[in-house]
Structure 1
Amino acid sequence: MRKATTWVLSLGLLLGLAACDDNQVYDKNQELDKAVWTVQEKPTFEFEIADTTQRYDIYFNVRNESMYGYYNLYVKHTLLDPSNKRVSQLLHQMLLMDPQTGEPRGQGSGDIFDHQFLALRGQQFRQPGTYKVVLEQYMRQDQLPGIMAVGVRVVKAAQ
């Protein structure tokens, strides 16, 4: 029950903050079944870009349980343009806990923590249309317990 209450409060807070942001283009999270991210699971996020003169910052959202077994998380992203051509593909290391103390980073209470990592700064999109970001866990483990959800947030970059 405590996890459910914390989840609802965190989700409400994030939605409230997102609703106030005029620069936000897209923000969506995908829950992972039983808080386990399998290698086969590649969450895909689609968003519309209309203004190709604007630069955008792309963030990755991660929600983890405190029982997650590592201090970091490796995630590979693939960004695809409207014709499904690869725009970029990078491996990201995200620090979910302090490597020396083991203390959780991010926002949260109890045993659930939310993180937002700037993954792509000042991304330029060359054509309008629907873009996709595909996320893959890259921890060399078929099943990665303790990761509850992942997501993508796209905002207009500061000029």
Structure 2
Amino acid sequence: MRGWLAALSLLLLASCDTSELYEQNVDLKDAGGQPYVWVVQEKPSFTFTITDTTQLYDVYFNIRNAADYGYYNLYVKHTLTAPDGRPVSMLLHEMRLLDAKTGEPLGSGSGDIFDHRILALPQQRFRQPGEYRLTLEQYMRQDALPGIMAVGVRVARHTTEP
């Protein structure tokens, strides 16, 4: 029930944002079906279409974690592939999910679930029209990373806010 309500609220929020081009999230589980575990072999890919190559875009990573996540940060490597199959960029990101000193969650949420929308690729220019693929992989020092519930990608037209 909780997952359904969260999905509905994300859908309602997304429908109000005219700059959004794409958003998709993937629930994580290990090979045995245990939920909320991001194993190093699991590399979610997200495919989105770019038609306007003159526009700048902001690419965000969505992270949902449980309160019992064991670290204050999360290392994620991305690989962005162009429509012609060539890699556009590969980068390692450190994302802070908790305050390192206090342990307080930095994302939005309530209870024991927290959501983070982290600007990963600001003002990204896509040089070719077509389908791009963005693949994420966890780069922590353990094979199975419990407490990461879902990851996702959001692509929006870059807007300058006053």
TM tier, smaller? over 0.9
Q: Deviations over 1:21-41 (max 9, x none)?
A: 111100000000111000100
SS in 2 for 1:27: strand
- Whole-angstrom distance in 2 between the partners of 1:83 and 1:136: 22
Instruction: Work out whether 1:27 is the aligned partner of 2:14.
Output: no
Q: CA deviation at 1:84?
A: 1.4
- Whole-angstrom distance in 2 between the partners of 1:81 and 1:29: 20
- Whole-angstrom distance in 1 between the partners of 2:6 and 2:106: 15
Q: CA deviation at 1:58?
A: 0.1
Q: Deviations over 1:96-124 (max 9, x none)?
A: 11110001111111101110000001111
Deviant stretches of 4+, over 3 Å: none
Count of paired positions:
155
Q: How does 1:4-19 map to 2 (within 5 A)?
A: 4-5=1-2, 7-19=3-15
- Whole-angstrom distance in 2 between the partners of 1:11 and 1:46: 19
Determine the structure 1 residue equivalent to 2:50: 49
- Whole-angstrom distance in 1 between the partners of 2:68 and 2:4: 20
Q: How does 1:111-126 map to 2 (within 5 A)?
A: 111-126=112-127
Q: Which has the higher helix share?
A: 1
Determine the structure 2 residue equivalent to 1:139: 140
- Whole-angstrom distance in 1 between the partners of 2:115 and 2:39: 19
- Whole-angstrom distance in 1 between the partners of 2:71 and 2:103: 9
- Whole-angstrom distance in 1 between the partners of 2:10 and 2:21: 15
Question: Amino acid of the residue matched to residue 12 of structure 2?
Answer: G
- Whole-angstrom distance in 2 between the partners of 1:11 and 1:109: 15
Question: Amino acid of the residue matched to residue 26 of structure 2?
Answer: Q
Determine the structure 1 residue equivalent to 2:32: none
Are the aligned partners of 1:10 and 1:108 in contact in 2 as well (CA < 8 Å)?
no
Q: CA deviation at 1:10?
A: 2.7
Q: Deviations over 1:122-145 (max 9, x none)?
A: 111111000010000000210000
SS in 2 for 1:79: strand
SS in 1 for 2:90: strand
Determine the structure 2 residue equivalent to 1:130: 131
- Whole-angstrom distance in 2 between the partners of 1:128 and 1:9: 35
- Whole-angstrom distance in 1 between the partners of 2:134 and 2:113: 25
Q: CA deviation at 1:9?
A: 3.0
SS in 2 for 1:69: coil
Q: CA deviation at 1:15?
A: 1.4
